[in-house]
Amino acid sequence: MTKSRHPEKINKPFNPIKKKPNWIRSKILDTKVFFRTKEVVNQNGLNTVCQEANCPNITECWSKKHATFMIMGDTCTRGCAFCDVKTGKPNKLDPFEPLKISKAVKELNLNHVVITSVDRDDLEDGGANHFKEVVLETKKNNPQTTIEVLTPDFLRKGNAFEKVLEASPDVFNHNIETVPSLYLSVRPGSRYFASIKLLESSKQIKPNLFTKSGLMVGLGENKNEILQVMDDLRTANVDFLTIGQYLQPSPKHYPLQRYYNPQEFLELKKIALSKGFLLVASSPLTRSSYHADEDFKKLKKARDEQSKCLTLQ
């Protein structure tokens, strides 16, 4: 068995949170819009990863009517050491959730929406069919809205993930989260190469689908490990990579090892782009769905430019 890099801290009940540097600051842009977004979410009885995962960008994103909807409940069957979403036995699926999500997207008049979920290992298909129904219903009532899904890994669920692809989302996102050596302590219920395979298979089945993945830094990884993850994702033909700072949610969560400074994030972005990603978002507050609508436009433009270059060759 691989030894943990920080064995003395794994069972430690209290990991003090390091003071945030001055470059990590969230902001609110429009108070009126923020509360309108909150109202729509609450009136429709929806969950958002913005709230459940205590995202540092919630004030900025909700001020621009950007919310990442989290389906299949607010309780996850996994217990990742970095995540603030609660763990336990989930409730039954809400059959009206596809309609509720679709209605909220329409009320907020979204051009681009991100739909994610908790892990549902208790379900035979991991919730893949429910994911499909949410996407299809949202498309039906919002034909001009582009849809990005941020899915769990559907580990040990066979080809269940293909049900999500059948709904033809515009972006298929699955976060790799961290480097392989930290999986046993940070993502004990997940498997690194299963996540790589999920992204690779999705691209093989839907070649024109944009694929995306996210990586956290500050958990104790080293630079070479980060570069290896980039290479693995490119081998899987992932188009878009996000890199953000891990922020320890509480003293009970996995201990933060260090903060990366803005210059380090810029360096990682340059390296990732040199490896062939169409788009890279890398900054302390970057998260999977942060600026997702603007990034989708950049992603399409990057693909168009790449196609032109290939045609000229």
Query: What does the pLDDT look like over 89-112, one tens digit per residue?
Result: 999 999 999 999 999 999 888 889
Average confidence score pLDDT of the chain: 89
Rounded CA-CA distance 170/210 in Å is 6
Q: Which residues contact 211 (CB under 8 A, 6 or more apart)?
A: 171, 172, 173, 199, 202, 203, 236, 237, 238, 239, 240
Burial class (CB in 10 A: 0-12, 13-18, 19+), 12: exposed
pLDDT > 60? residue 5: no
Q: Of 193 and 15, which is predicted with more confidence?
A: 193
Least confident interval from 3-7, 253-257, 266-270 = 3-7
Is 9 or 205 the better-scoring residue by pLDDT?
205
173, pLDDT greater than 90 = yes
- Contact residues for 283 (Cβ-Cβ < 8 A; gap 6+): 243, 244, 262, 265
Tokens 């621009």 sit on residue: 64
Query: Is the pLDDT confidence value at 55 over 70?
Result: no
Comparing CA positions, the residue from 127, 139, 51 lying closest to residue 101 is 139
State pLDDT tens for residues 126-168. 999 999 999 999 999 999 999 999 999 999 999 999 999 999 9
pTM: 0.89
Q: How far is CA 78 from the centre of its chain?
A: 16
CA atoms within 13 A on the CB side of 119: 22
Phi, psi of 149 (to 5 degrees): -105, 140
Provide the pLDDT for residue 79.
92
The answer to whether the CB of 176 falls within 8 A of the CB of 229 is yes
pLDDT at 4: 47
* Residue 229 clears pLDDT 80, i.e. is over it: yes
N-term to C-term CA, the chain:
49
The greatest distance separating any two alpha carbons of the chain, rounded to the nearest whole angstrom, comes to 60
The DSSP 8-state label assigned to residue 222 in this structure reads: -
| % the chain with pLDDT above 70 | 88
Beta strand segments in the chain, E? 47-48, 68-71, 112-117, 146-150, 171-173, 210-217, 240-245, 279-282
Backbone angles phi, psi at 235, to 5 degrees: -60, -30
**φ, ψ for residue 215 (rounded to 5)?**
-130, 135
Does residue 10 register a pLDDT over 60? Answer: no
> Predicted confidence band at 13 (pLDDT cuts at 50, 70, 90)?
low
Amino acid of residue 72: M
Tokens 């694929």 locate to 211
| N residues, the chain | 313
Question: What's the confidence (pLDDT) of residue 2?
Answer: 47
Domains of the chain: 31-312 (3.20.20.70)
Judge whether residue 236 has pLDDT over 50: yes
pLDDT of the residue at 244: 96
Residue 59 has pLDDT above 90, yes or no: no
Nearest Cα neighbor of 77 from 148, 127, 9 is 127
- Inter-CA distances, 255 with 1, 12, 186, 263, Å: 22, 10, 10, 23
